Amino acid sequence: MYKDQLIKILRALKLPGSKDNIVKDCTLEDLSFEGNVISIKLNLKSPAMHLRKKIEQDILHIIHERFDSKAQVKFHSQVKLHTLPLIRGMEISGVKNIIAIASGKGGVGKSTVSANIAVSLAMMGFKTGLLDADIYGPSIPLMLDVESARPLSTNINGKEKIIPVDAYGLSVLSMGFFAGSSQAVIWRGPMATKVLRKLIRDAHWGELDFLIVDLPPGTGDIHLSLMQEIPLTAVVIVSTPQKIALSDVRKSVAMFHMEAINVPVLGMIENMAYFSLEGQPELQYPIFGNKGAQEFASELTIPFLGEIPIIQSIREASDVGRPAALQKNTFAAERFMEITKKTVEQLVYRNTSIPPTEALRITTMAGCKAK
């Protein structure tokens, strides 16, 4: 009787972005009473940690308010996706986590964020690689001051392999190393895919904890073939706060969530969040809009990983080829470190809550007891 009463109360709760309540949409799998403890089983359809915390808090709140103000509740929450991640490509041997950095639009700071996250990971002690997959506008060689580097090759088990270039302890590959930065590169779709495949597969990456992939902007051919080519562990989205950038983010997120792609989105980073003058950090000018990306992340129910203001030294650091994350005790370096830590946190959560991306496996959701 109590169970029915409680289920009725819980019908008032919905997850953000869902049209059904948590009973109808089977988020609430089951509940039972064990002495004076209420045991609640939840099935979550998103690996986002903040969503789980939110729903658990909401349930606790409504139970205390409408059922029993002293009730103790024990949660058993598991992530159960409708479809498990699908990737047709082979893994890259020795590479543990492959994280793509994506954006809707160009010019939002995707390469800047990729380079700074990669450097921050290396500073945290992780073996890190950086692949510049922006075939049409490779900017990583300039940002890491290795524009004139030309990768050597080596023979491994009878196969010719490209040796990534070392920059600040990172293993780096970019189309820029092969085409030259001043040369206009006009690859047609299939050609670009072929070149990209070569960069990924014919490289001797060695043992890496992380391979960060700087994707080209948008949702085109390269994205699709990249996603079919390598088992991306997850993707991080970078956006500026203005509407015009965010509308393209919606398309990107939709693409990553497509059934045929299904790469988990770890979260969103808001770049160029505001501007403030040196020495006056309290005065923040929201040039491109106020917290647009942060609010948009919550609307799309993806975690928010942090904001980076417009800082002149970030641009200068990129231009001289020494990412801001390498600076000692600066606001920019600390901010990139915080965002990287948050990203790793989400990644650990992703890796423990859902299986690795692998060949096609589709699970259907069975009915739940609470319904």
Ligand X SMILES: Nc1ncnc2c1ncn2[C@@H]1O[C@H](COP(=O)(O)OP(=O)(O)O)[C@@H](O)[C@H]1O
Q: Which residues sit at the interface with ligand X, rule CB under 6 A? A: 103, 106-112, 139, 271-272, 308, 310-311, 314-315, 318
- The Cα–Cα gap between 53 and 55 comes to 6
Name which of Mg ion, ligand X, none residue 272 binds, using a CB cut-off of 5 to 8 Å depending on partner kind.
ligand X
Name which of Mg ion, ligand X, none residue 100 binds, using a CB cut-off of 5 to 8 Å depending on partner kind.
none
- The Cα–Cα gap between 47 and 309 comes to 28
Name which of ligand X, Mg ion, none residue 323 binds, using a CB cut-off of 5 to 8 Å depending on partner kind.
none
Question: Which lies closer to Mg ion via its Cβ, residue 27 or residue 111?
Answer: 111
- The Cα–Cα gap between 47 and 302 comes to 9
DSSP string, 27-86: SEEEEEEETTEEEEEEEESS--HHHHHHHHHHHHHHHHHHT-TT-EEEEEEEE--SB--B
Question: At its nearest, how many Å lie between ligand X and the CB of residue 214?
Answer: 7
Give the relative orientation of helices 221-229 and 189-201 as an angle to the nearest 10 degrees.
Answer: 30
**CA distances from residue 355 to 32, 114, 154, 264, 343 in whole angstroms, order as listed:** 28, 25, 34, 11, 18
Name which of ligand X, Mg ion, none residue 108 binds, using a CB cut-off of 5 to 8 Å depending on partner kind.
ligand X
Question: At its nearest, how many Å lie between Mg ion and the CB of residue 105?
Answer: 11
Question: At its nearest, how many Å lie between ligand X and the CB of residue 240?
Answer: 9
Question: Which lies closer to ligand X via its Cβ, residue 236 or residue 368?
Answer: 236
Question: Which lies closer to Mg ion via its Cβ, residue 22 or residue 146?
Answer: 146
Name which of Mg ion, ligand X, none residue 271 binds, using a CB cut-off of 5 to 8 Å depending on partner kind.
ligand X
- Please tell me whether residue 255 adopts helix, strand or coil conformation: helix
Question: At its nearest, how many Å lie between ligand X and the CB of residue 146?
Answer: 16
Name which of ligand X, Mg ion, none residue 264 binds, using a CB cut-off of 5 to 8 Å depending on partner kind.
none
Residue nearest to Mg ion (CB): 111
Question: At its nearest, how many Å lie between ligand X and the CB of residue 106?
Answer: 4
Query: How many C-beta neighbours within 10 Å does residue 35 have?
Result: 7
Question: At its nearest, how many Å lie between ligand X and the CB of residue 120?
Answer: 14
What's the Rg (C-alpha) of the chain? 23
- The Cα–Cα gap between 367 and 371 comes to 8
Question: Which lies closer to Mg ion via its Cβ, residue 196 or residue 354?
Answer: 196
Binding site for Mg ion (CB under 5 A): 111, 134, 139
- The answer to whether the CB of 304 falls within 8 A of the CB of 266 is no
